[in-house]
Amino acid sequence: MESSNLKEAEGAMKGQKSNTHQEAETASTAKEKKLGSKVGSVSNKELYFRADKIDFKSWDIQLENHLSRAWSRDREVQPTRKEEWEIDLGKLDIRHVISYGTYGTVYRGNYDGQDVAVKVLDWGEDGIATAAETTALRASFKQEVAVWHKLDHPNVTKFVGASMGTSNLKIPSKSSSSDSVNSPPARACCVVVEYLPGGTLKKFLIRNRRKKLAFKIVIQLALDLSRGLSYLHSKKIVHRDVKTENMLLDATRTLKIADFGVARVEAQNPRDMTGETGTLGYMAPEVLDGKPYNRKCDVYSFGICLWETYCCDMPYPDLSFAEVSSAVVRQHLRPEIPRCCPSSLASVMRKCWDANSEKRPEMDEVVRLLEAIDTSKGGGMLPEDQSTGCLCFTPARGP
């Protein structure tokens, strides 16, 4: 009796489920027809899954793998857009080392048929710079390049291009094998500029230390440097490391400003530009003293370079860094101007290295002052072999 009742109940439930399912299918079909939609192209039957039987973890893994492959294909199809200053390292042929520096090496090379200098920056030995420091240096490099590639002046080294990576760069090894090459660290960057065969102004002055330079050449070099700095300042750029080592000469002895390793766009607020950036003997007092500074620090450094070019000598050769720093700031120490130096040129030197930065002339005014100097009557520093009895550095007598 009970068995018969159970069978009848099960039959009733099956009938009810069947009727309910048929009603759902009928409603669904009517809805699809009403919307004029198609569900699939293979079968009109709907497929249902039991939620408790679905492995959602497996779905997540499969979805992640699929998206990873899709994103990889997107990156391959749409490569990162290059900056307008980025170059094809495959066209760069590095030949030999020109010089070594703290954060990299300068090589001579050829890029697309042009003689170039290649500055490879690896930010020092592995482990010295932290990841954060390397990131900051790379960002600074990118900012430097973004400024440099827009510059165009006969007294500023011509920028060719740069690269934020060096994966395709082949650097000759120091080993005897001519086929051996070195690979720079992955973090390295490189900048390519025109090659200037005359070397640095510093080396040129050292070569002429005994015989000195003709006055006309002194003024020509000074004008080249002052015009280049005037141009940079017109673009709101402060070089911040003006010294004879950072000036290069081409085959015709035209001077060009180089090494923008510490150059940056001039800050609107002078207090945004602080810190001892530059080389001690050329630093303005406000820089040495850690005070805010602006483009006038370049004017001061130019004055020291002008003295050095005229004398073919180094400022403060017998003083330590600490002594120079203290004396320049507190005692107004400046290089001694030879008595044989024409007053017109001596006046430019003194104006440029005035302790009060506001009293220093702008570089375009310095250009005008130098252009007005008469070089036809000479006035250069006497050669050492002709300086017997020379009173160049003898203190003036009388009033």
308-344: per-residue pLDDT in tens?
Answer: 999 999 999 888 888 999 999 999 999 999 999 999 9
For 27-83, where are the E strands, in sequence order?
A: none
Selecting among 122, 224, 241, 298, the annotated active-site residue is 241
Higher pLDDT residue, 161 or 386? 161
pTM equals: 0.71
Average pLDDT over residues 231-255: 94
Distances 139 to 103, 142, 264, 299 between C-alpha atoms, Å: 15, 5, 12, 28
Q: How does residue 19 score in pLDDT terms, banded at 50, 70 and 90?
A: low
pLDDT at 387: 53
pLDDT, tens digit (0-9, with 9 covering 90-100), for 100-154: 776 678 899 999 999 999 988 876 555 566 778 777 877 888 888 888 889 999 9
Architecture in CATH of 89-194: 2-Layer Sandwich (3.30)
Q: What's the mean per-residue pLDDT of the chain?
A: 79
Phi-psi region of 125 (alpha: psi -120 to 50; beta: other; left: phi over 0): beta
Q: What is the pLDDT of residues 42-74, one digit of tens each?
A: 455 555 555 555 566 676 677 777 777 766 665
Q: Higher-confidence residue: 371 or 112? A: 371
Q: Where are the domains of the chain?
A: 89-194, 201-386
More confident residue, 260 or 373: 373
pLDDT band (50, 70, 90) for residue 15: low
Number of H helices, E strands in the chain: 10, 11
Residues 6+ apart with CB under 8 A from 332: 285, 355
Higher pLDDT, 280 or 175: 280
Is the domain covering 201-386 a CATH 2.40.50.140 domain? Answer: no
Q: Are strands 171-172 and 159-163 parallel, antiparallel or unpaired?
A: unpaired
| Sign of the alpha-carbon dihedral angle for 296, 297, 302, 304 | positive
- Catalytic residue at 88? no
User: What whole-number percentage of the chain has pLDDT above 90?
Assistant: 43
